Amino acid sequence: MTPMEFDLTHHDHHAAAAALWTAACGPDLAISPAFVAFNTRPTTGVTQAGRLALRDGQPAGFILASAVIADPTLTVGWVDAIAVAPEVQRQGLGSALLSWAEAWLRDHGCTQVRIGGSLRPFTPGLPVELGPLPQEFFARRGYHEEGSEWDVARDLLAYPDPPLPAGAPSLRPVESAAEQQALLDFLSREFPGRWHFECQEFFREGGRATDWLLLWPAEAEQPAGFCQITLEDSLRPIERFYPHRLPHPWGQFGPLGVAREARGKGYGAVVVDGAARHLKRLGVRGCVIDWTDLVAFYGKFGFTPYRQYRVLVKSVKG
């Protein structure tokens, strides 16, 4: 089998990766070439590379890896995605691709590798629904489990939305340039890491401001919370959340958070309820909240476990 450099800008490579991933993972985790193209766009301060393996001229497997180069203190790197065609599995191709990615990440200053969970994630980790064989594959190659992450979901058709009491905090979309700046200032102040970075990248790429919601307490001059939503026409592809088992139309929300000084007032619940109400008003039925360990909290709003991921990591110190 012949490996070649994965061309991050080439549609044929995007299509090959999508077909390999879907064949290996099944229709419930299907992805499109457009999703692969989105996840291989240039990201500020990040480098990404991959390999595409061919057998008899046809795609047989691929891998993508990424690392942050703008911050030398961040030494975790990611295997963004890996898949091998079912008919050539257990022949050493997956091991060869993974060994290449680990060496590439080590060469870029990484001392730890995580499966999934990158800044443009295909998944937060290894989907449990794939069964024991993928986990055994990674375990044999030195990966260990550091917990689980969950997606939760529900149909919003029956979500209760009685009128809110007068004076209740208002969760509403970002609509003006001033509100967009208020969002960025809020995230810089309250969540200065990944969430602030992702918001900056979202607007750099021309994302729609109304895909972000801000929580405004009565008569407040600054927001007290935020939430991002994803619709079927959003910049962030809805298929990233694998809603295929849910009724159309699809939607998602998260991340979300509340200012430190506003915690303990029930505002987290207000954000969740407000986001669910907002998506229901937009006609969404199948709704996912992704990448969380707060299953019991979201259960209060009728969201139930939808998908589980294992967080797998490995030390690759030189």
Residue 207: pLDDT over 90: yes
Residue 2: pLDDT over 80: no
The mean pLDDT of 235-257, rounded to a whole number, is: 97
pLDDT of residue 162: 82
Q: Which domains does the chain have, with CATH numbers?
A: 2-122 (3.40.630.30), 153-308 (3.40.630.30)
- Which distant-in-sequence residues (6+ apart) come within 8 Å of 30 by Cβ? 21, 22, 239, 242, 244
pLDDT single digits (tens) 88-103 = 999 999 999 999 999 9
Question: Binning pLDDT at 50, 70 and 90, where does residue 164 land?
Answer: confident
Q: Which residue has the higher pLDDT, 254 or 166?
A: 254
Average pLDDT value for the chain? 96
Largest CA distance in the chain: 68
- Which distant-in-sequence residues (6+ apart) come within 8 Å of 209 by Cβ? 173, 174, 175, 179, 180, 203
The residue among 316, 315, 310 whose CA lies nearest residue 136 is 310
Tell me the C-alpha distance between 191 and 257, whole Å: 8
* pTM confidence score: 0.95
Tell me the C-alpha distance between 317 and 218, whole Å: 52
Number of H helices, E strands in the chain: 8, 13
What whole-number percentage of the chain has pLDDT above 90? 92
**How far, in Å, are 39, 66, 137 from residue 316 at the CA level?**
24, 14, 17
The mean pLDDT of 8-27, rounded to a whole number, is: 98
Q: How far is CA 84 from the centre of its chain?
A: 22
Range in 27-36, 109-118, 160-169 the model is least confident about: 160-169
Range in 120-124, 192-196, 263-267 the model is least confident about: 263-267
Residue 1: pLDDT over 80: no
Backbone φ and ψ for 44, nearest 5 degrees, come out as: -55, 125
Question: Binning pLDDT at 50, 70 and 90, where does residue 70 land?
Answer: confident
Q: Tokens 């592809």, residue?
A: 237
pLDDT of residue 187: 98
The mean pLDDT of 243-255, rounded to a whole number, is: 97
**How far, in Å, are 83, 106, 115, 165, 277 from residue 18 at the CA level?**
9, 26, 18, 47, 33
Range in 209-213, 216-220, 301-305 the model is least confident about: 216-220
pLDDT of residue 42: 97
Tell me the C-alpha distance between 251 and 224, whole Å: 23
pLDDT single digits (tens) 267-293 = 999 999 999 999 999 999 999 999 999
Question: Binning pLDDT at 50, 70 and 90, where does residue 165 land?
Answer: confident
Tell me the C-alpha distance between 59 and 53, whole Å: 6
Decide: helix, strand or coil at residue 271: helix
pLDDT of residue 69: 93
Tell me the C-alpha distance between 182 and 10, whole Å: 37
Q: Kindly report the length of the chain.
A: 318
pLDDT of residue 318: 67
